């Protein structure tokens, strides 16, 4: 499907204006504009670091080594970057505050939707902004735990004696049922479903647009590359998410 950019932006704006329920799904493409390297794909983090070092089994067998590698990963990829929300994050927060967007479902773990001011965010893979106790579930800002780890407190522990771990879904772990069912319910209830900056190739992100389309939602895909859901979409825009979303906000 090819459509002039302007017409597509107008169509999305109109659909959002008419929708009772609108939901956005965001992927790595929304984070890269904030200087966050992507995990998968060419030049992705997992091309350069061994994912098994960050597997659930590693945490169990060698929590100290797991944390040491995690510190390295953080220094290597995020050391000089203090990522801040970009125009796409801010536009989604603005859409929500104006009542044109009900929720953001994200594959990203950087917490930037939260920071941009989005109120209802479903983080499918958790967030790197926090750690949680593997035993009692107590949560803590990640910075505090990483500072302790950097000072040699390895692995950092909760007052209950349990080990703190990143509050993300590790390799070898399942997604939270709560997040998954909320995301599915949002997809099913949406009149407009915006899939932005996601290759839609990894479950569950690949499933959500299908659920939305099967429930007769207007499906919009904004992504540089082709996605497996393009053929089911009402509008496909191959452009930068940091251009498209602010353009939609401007026209509402």
Binding range to Zn ion, per CB under 5 A, among 10-18, 94-102, 154-162, 206-214: 154-162
Is 125 known to be catalytic? yes
Compute and round to an integer the Cα radius of gyration of the chain. Answer: 19
- Given candidates 81, 160, 203, 226, which one binds Zn ion under the rule CB under 5 A? 160
Question: In this complex, which beta carbon is closest to Zn ion, that of residue 135 or of residue 143?
Answer: 135
- Given candidates 65, 162, 172, 246, which one binds Zn ion under the rule CB under 5 A? 162
Structure tokens at 6: 């302007």
Give the angle subtended at the CA of 56 by the CAs of 163 and 38, to the nearest 5°.
105
Q: Give the residue from 28, 24, 7, 20 showing the smallest Cα distance to 220.
A: 24
Encoded one letter per residue, x for contact with Zn ion by CB under 5 A and - for no contact, window 27-56 reads ------------------------------
Encoded one letter per residue, x for contact with Zn ion by CB under 5 A and - for no contact, window 87-126 reads ----------------------------------------
- Given candidates 28, 158, 168, 211, which one binds Zn ion under the rule CB under 5 A? 158
> Minimum distance between the CB of residue 146 and Zn ion, rounded to whole angstroms?
17
> Minimum distance between the CB of residue 154 and Zn ion, rounded to whole angstroms?
17
> Minimum distance between the CB of residue 173 and Zn ion, rounded to whole angstroms?
18
> Minimum distance between the CB of residue 153 and Zn ion, rounded to whole angstroms?
15
> Minimum distance between the CB of residue 160 and Zn ion, rounded to whole angstroms?
3
Alpha-carbon span 189 to 215, nearest angstrom: 8
Question: In this complex, which beta carbon is closest to Zn ion, that of residue 145 or of residue 205?
Answer: 145
Question: In this complex, which beta carbon is closest to Zn ion, that of residue 83 or of residue 162?
Answer: 162
Q: Which of 89, 100, 113, 125 is catalytic?
A: 125
Kindly identify the residues of this chain, within the stretch 122-141, that bind Zn ion according to CB under 5 A: 133, 135-136, 138
Q: Is 1 an interacting residue with respect to Zn ion (CB under 5 A)?
A: no
> Minimum distance between the CB of residue 145 and Zn ion, rounded to whole angstroms?
12
Compute how many residues bind Zn ion; rule: CB under 5 A. 7
Q: What is the 3-state secondary structure (H, E, C) of the chain?
A: CCCCHHHHHHHHHHHHHHCCCEEEEECHHHHHCCCCCCCCCCCCHHHHCCHHHHEHHHHHHCHHHHHHHHHHHHHHHHCCCCCCCCHHHHHHHHHHHCCCCCEEEECCCCCHHHHHCCCCEEECCEEEEEEEECCCCCEEEHHHHHHHHHCCCCCCECCCCCEEEEEECCECCCCCHHHHHHHHHHHHHCCEEEEECCCCCCCCCCHHHHHHHHCCCEEEEECCCCCCCHHHCCEEECCCHHHHHHHHHHHC
Name the residues that contact Zn ion, by CB under 5 A: 133, 135-136, 138, 158, 160, 162
Looking at the annotation, which residues are catalytic?
A: 125
């Amino acid at each position: 499907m090819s459509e002039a950019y302007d017409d597509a932006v107008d169509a999305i704006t109109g659909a959002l204006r008419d929708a009772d329920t609108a939901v956005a799904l965001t992927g790595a493409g929304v984070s890269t504009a904030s200087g966050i390297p992507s995990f998968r794909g060419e030049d992705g983090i997992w091309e350069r670091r061994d994912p098994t070092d960050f597997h659930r089994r590693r945490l169990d067998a060698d929590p100290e080594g797991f944390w040491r590698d995690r510190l390295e990963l953080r220094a290597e990829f995020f050391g000089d970057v203090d990522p801040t929300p970009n125009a796409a994050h801010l536009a989604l927060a603005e859409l929500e505050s104006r009542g044109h967007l009900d929720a953001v479902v994200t594959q990203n773990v950087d917490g930037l939707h939260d920071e941009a001011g989005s109120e209802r965010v479903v983080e499918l893979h958790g967030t790197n902004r926090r750690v949680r106790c593997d035993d009692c579930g107590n949560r803590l800002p990640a910075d505090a735990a990483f500072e302790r780890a950097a000072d040699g407190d390895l692995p950092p522990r909760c007052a209950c004696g349990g080990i703190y771990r990143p509050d993300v879904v590790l390799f070898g772990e399942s997604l939270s049922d709560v997040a998954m069912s909320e995301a599915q319910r949002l997809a099913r209830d949406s009149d407009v479903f915006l899939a932005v900056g996601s290759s839609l190739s990894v479950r569950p992100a690949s499933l959500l647009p299908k659920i939305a389309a099967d429930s007769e939602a207007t499906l919009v895909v904004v992504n540089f590359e082709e996605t497996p859901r393009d053929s089911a979409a009402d509008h496909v825009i191959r452009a930068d998410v940091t251009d498209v979303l602010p353009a939609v906000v401007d026209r509402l």
